[in-house]
Homo-oligomer: A and B are copies of this chain.
Amino acid sequence: MTLTLYSSWRASAPYRVRIGLALKGLAYAYVSVDVAADAQREPDYRAVNPQALVPTLVLPDGRRLSQSMAILEWLDETHPAPPLLPADPTDRAVVRAMSGVIACDIHPVNNRRILQAIMAHGVDADGAIAWQQRWMSDGFDALEPLIAEHGRGYAFGDRPSLVDCCLVPQAYNARRVDLTLERWPALAAAIGAAMAHPAFIAARPDNQPDAR
């Protein structure tokens, strides 16, 4: 038996986990969940993940892991090489904090269910795009000095870390709402470096079996 990932090609959270799996060199079965059709809310998928969110990683023993950041930490604990976190505890806290800017402060407020909710309150399509750009810009403002301080090729240090697993999917979302990155040169450079890495290429939405 192997690992099974419930994923959706463009969704940010499974994209992060695909990067982590690829960095660790782990093979996995890919099961597509069509979030554009809200398939994650169907009974079939709720039986896998009661929270009705992607991703879910099913372990060889059948246990199911949810929440992308928890899965990435699990990956790093169970498959330590190459590491997604540095060795020093304070550095680890910085990497986790940088990741948290994306995983807590940008992505959840731009999630599909939130966009649907604000549109139900009368926000139109342009307003929904401006909403996403606003929170991305706030988060990128927070990340830029941290990447400038800590990055040496990648967002933190000279190898891919948990930050890059979050940052590259966030950059993909930024492109989808036409947010260009000139204002954040260190961030843009780190994204460019990571996107050229084979693991990040393998994890890219357009390289997934359910891409369309």
Name A's B-contacting residues (CB within 8 A): 50-51, 53, 59, 63, 65-67, 69-71, 73-74, 77-78, 89-90, 92-94, 96-97, 99-101, 103-105, 107-109, 111, 114, 117-118, 121-123, 127, 131, 134, 141-142, 145
Contacts and interface: CB of A to CB of B under 8 A. Distances in A.
Main secondary structure on chain A at its contact with chain B?
helix
B123 A69 contact: no
A192 to B, nearest CB: 23
B73 A92 contact: yes
A95 to B, nearest CB: 8
A118 B63 CA distance: 38
Copies in the complex: 2
9 contacts: A51-B105, A51-B142, A67-B96, A67-B97, A67-B104, A73-B96, A77-B89, A108-B108, A122-B122
Given A89-B78, A108-B108, A100 B63 contact: no
A145 B69 contact: no
A160 B111 CA distance: 30
Contacts of A134: 117
B89 A50 contact: no
A176 to B, nearest CB: 20
B93 A65 contact: yes
Contacts of A59: 90
A100 B70 contact: yes
Contacts of A50: 141-142, 145
Contacts of A117: 131, 134
Contacts of A107: 104
Given A118-B121, A121-B122, A93 B109 contact: no
Given A63-B90, A108-B108, A109-B109, A51 B96 contact: no
